[in-house]
Amino acid sequence: MFTHQARRRRLAATMLLCGLSATIHASPQTIDSLPLRADGNTMILPAGDYSGQFLLDEPVHLRCEPGAVLDSAGKGSLLTIRAADVTIEGCTLRNWGANLTDMNAGIFVEPSATGVTLRNNDLSGPSFGIWSDGTRHLTVEGNQVEGDRNYRSQDRGNGIHLINTNEARVVDNQVRHVRDGIYLGNSNNNLIEGNLMEDLRFGIHYMFSQSNRVIGNTTRRTRTGYALMQSRMLTVENNRSEDDRNYGILMNFITYSTITNNFVSNVQRGQTGDDSMIKGGEGKALFIYNSLFNTIEHNHFERSNLGIHLTAGSENNKISHNAFVGNEQQVKYVATRTQEWSVDGRGNFWSDYLGWDRNDDGLGDVPYEPNDNVDRLLWMYPQVRLLMNSPAIQVLRWVQRAFPVMKMQGVQDSHPLMQLPTTHLIQPTQEAN
């Protein structure tokens, strides 16, 4: 065991107060009598309340015992990490500052802090939970981040915020009631895996990043589950979007990426005032906006207002082996070229397909064409929806079927699948009829 003097020198070297007048208050004991235990670079912080803003500026492994609470009394960032090879484990952090412009955060990782590990911590505060600024080899694992619901969502910080951060692992965290669950800007070669994000604006939000993997995450009750924007070479695989609003997966200027084995269910229209970055009336399971050269396969999109919406030059994407099940409208395609949605003679499964399979090869004998000229008329003039079931609209649809020369360009699946290819993605309680 260290003497009191040695413990104080050790603590001062690793946990320096930020600011002019901050102090540490230990309850019920004073800091001089804290029973710190050390094993190499590991420091054990006992139960107690510790107020102030703390700086770690040399390598240390800090482990908190149950009941140890760090609190900055609503001022600035609570814990700033400046040194490399720091580990923070099992700590409770509360009540840091709410100033988003000053980047107040529960844990702020500076560029010099490479190789930092944040594991099994519990953070609750009004602004950013964990902010990583220009570092490498960060591990954020098993943490819980909770926002402050007294603030509007746009006035809260993001749960885990990575800027210019490369080779990071963000794994098995739970994030609730913040602005965006996990945000990545200009951050490359990162793994985002196994996280649960609920009651947010965006679950996972990418901007200007490349070569990232998004694997096995779950979003619930967000305004957009996965907001993928201005990025390339993303792998988005085995994720779930459940009961999100506006969008399950949104692709905005995404190129050379793979979207596969994802499950999106029950995306519904958002409420008035939702602060989505791209406005839209329908709840869209998948929205593809000006995105090219992507592979979208083996996904399941069900029970949403709109299964898939393509627009703004979203072409040259490979879309096959997906399932579109029980959506109010399966496809909305706004462009001037025909899109073929089958690859190597196999297309997608459509729950409203009315064709047949006479040779029993598992493929429909007639193409699936989800939209016609009447759909285009409705997209251009939404007020026409009042006449949806009128004799005039029915005549228009009959004329199109009788005289295919009038057919407009649109989506065509020449080889629709007769059997659901994504049963492995459907949990027993969520099987579609």
Q: Which of 209-218, 275-284, 302-311, 389-398 has the lowest mean pLDDT?
A: 389-398
The predicted model gives 50-57 an average pLDDT of: 88
Show the tokens assigned to 179. 């602005």
Q: Is the pLDDT of residue 433 over 90?
A: no
The lowest-confidence range among 194-198, 223-227, 314-318 is: 314-318
pLDDT band at 282 (very low <50, low <70, confident <90, very high): confident
**DSSP string for 126-152:** SSEEEEEES-BS-EEES-EEE--TTS-
pLDDT at 39 (0 to 100): 73
Q: Tokens for 1?
A: 């065991």
State percent of the chain over pLDDT 90: 64
pLDDT tens-place string over residues 369-410? 876 554 555 445 555 455 545 665 555 545 555 555 455 557
Distance between CA atoms of residues 322 and 184, nearest Å: 28
**Exposure pattern of 122-160 as b/e (b: 16+ CB <10 Å)?**
bbbbbbbbbbbbbbbbbbbbbbbbbbbeebebeebbbbb
Handedness of CA 332, 335, 338, 344 (dihedral sign): negative
Q: 366 vs 113, which has greater pLDDT?
A: 113
Distance CA 148, CA 155 (A): 10
Q: What is the pLDDT of residues 20-47, one digit of tens each?
A: 223 333 322 222 333 478 877 788 888 9
Q: Which band of pLDDT confidence, cut at 50, 70 and 90, is reported for residue 5?
A: very low
pLDDT given for residue 41 in this prediction = 77
For 119-156, how does the pLDDT look when each residue is reduced to its tens digit (9 = 90+)? Answer: 999 999 999 999 999 999 999 999 999 999 999 988 99
| C-beta atoms surrounding 76 within 10 Å | 20
pLDDT of residue 57: 87
Q: Give me the pLDDT at residue 357, please.
A: 92
Q: What is the pLDDT of residue 274?
A: 56
CA 114/CA 135 separation, integer angstroms? 6
